[in-house]
């Protein structure tokens, strides 16, 4: 059986999801095998993405790396035959319905809950998180800062990155409940927490 294999080592979450999305759109019928490192956040987001697309993913450990196997989609039914010109369609037979147009999968919004990748908040983790923000797909509807991620507002480089993200068309928002000292001077719009919580509960949000 033909198999589509992707190697996604040392990539950001957004870059990995873009590459997987392109692969499943171009080869919907092929089973997918993804080889990747040990980043649990990357595993979590890839598994949720594949589940939403009906791919039934399975995560397995293979020594020094991890593997995700995902089933291919069933082949769509054959298209209806081309109808005859209207003047030759019998009066007692309705014209065939047009084939449905499939919509392109929408990009998911992103919730930042920490100010750096990893658990220790090292400078390399901060640089990695800002790198993800700089590489975000323009189709991402918005980014929200919550919990520990509000510390990014105190970092001049992070603040410039967020302002650049918003200036190019991706709104940046701030969790209202996460503010220890609410201020009217915040450069970004406040978001009610029930909005992102509802999306997270439905699996319609990427959490970093």
d(CA 40, CA 34): 14
- Of all residues in the chain, the percent with pLDDT exceeding 90 is 18
pLDDT at 95 over 50: yes
Q: Report the distance separating Cα 96 and Cα 175, nearest Å.
A: 50
- Provide the pLDDT confidence category of residue 194 given band limits of 50, 70 and 90: very high
- Per-residue model confidence as pLDDT tens digits over 27-50: 888 888 999 888 888 888 888 888
Mean pLDDT of 187-195: 89
Q: What is the pLDDT of residue 73?
A: 75
User: Which of 15-19, 50-54, 109-113 has the highest average model confidence (pLDDT)?
Assistant: 109-113
Residue-level pLDDT at 103: 46
- Cβ neighbors of 191 (< 8 A, separation 6 or more) are 144, 173, 174, 175, 176
Q: Is the pLDDT of residue 122 over 70?
A: yes
pLDDT one-digit tens code per residue, 61-82: 888 888 999 888 765 555 666 6
Tokens of 118: 């990893």
pLDDT band at 4 (very low <50, low <70, confident <90, very high): confident
Over residues 139-158, the pLDDT tens digits come to 899 999 998 889 899 889 99
Q: Classify residue 111 by burial, with Cβ atoms within 10 Å: 0-12, 13-18, 19+.
A: buried
């Amino acid at each position: 059986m033909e198999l589509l294999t992707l190697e996604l080592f040392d990539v950001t979450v957004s870059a990995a999801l873009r590459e997987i999305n392109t692969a499943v759109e171009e080869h919907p019928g092929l089973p997918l095998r993804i080889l990747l490192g040990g980043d649990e956040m990357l595993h979590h987001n890839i598994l949720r993405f594949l589940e939403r697309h009906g791919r039934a993913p399975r995560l397995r450990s293979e020594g020094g790396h991890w593997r995700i196997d995902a089933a291919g989609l069933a082949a769509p039914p054959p298209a209806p035959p081309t109808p005859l010109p209207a003047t030759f369609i019998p009066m007692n037979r309705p014209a065939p319905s047009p084939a449905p147009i499939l919509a392109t999968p929408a990009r998911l919004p992103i919730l930042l809950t920490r100010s750096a990748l990893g658990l220790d908040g090292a400078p390399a983790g901060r640089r990695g998180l800002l790198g993800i923000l700089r590489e975000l797909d323009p189709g991402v509807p918005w980014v929200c800062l919550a919990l520990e991620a509000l510390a990014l507002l105190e970092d001049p480089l992070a603040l410039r990155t967020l302002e650049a993200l918003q200036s190019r068309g991706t709104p940046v928002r701030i969790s209202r409940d996460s503010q220890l000292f609410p201020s009217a001077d915040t450069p970004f719009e406040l978001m009610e927490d029930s909005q992102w919580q509802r999306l997270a509960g439905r699996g319609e949000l990427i959490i970093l």
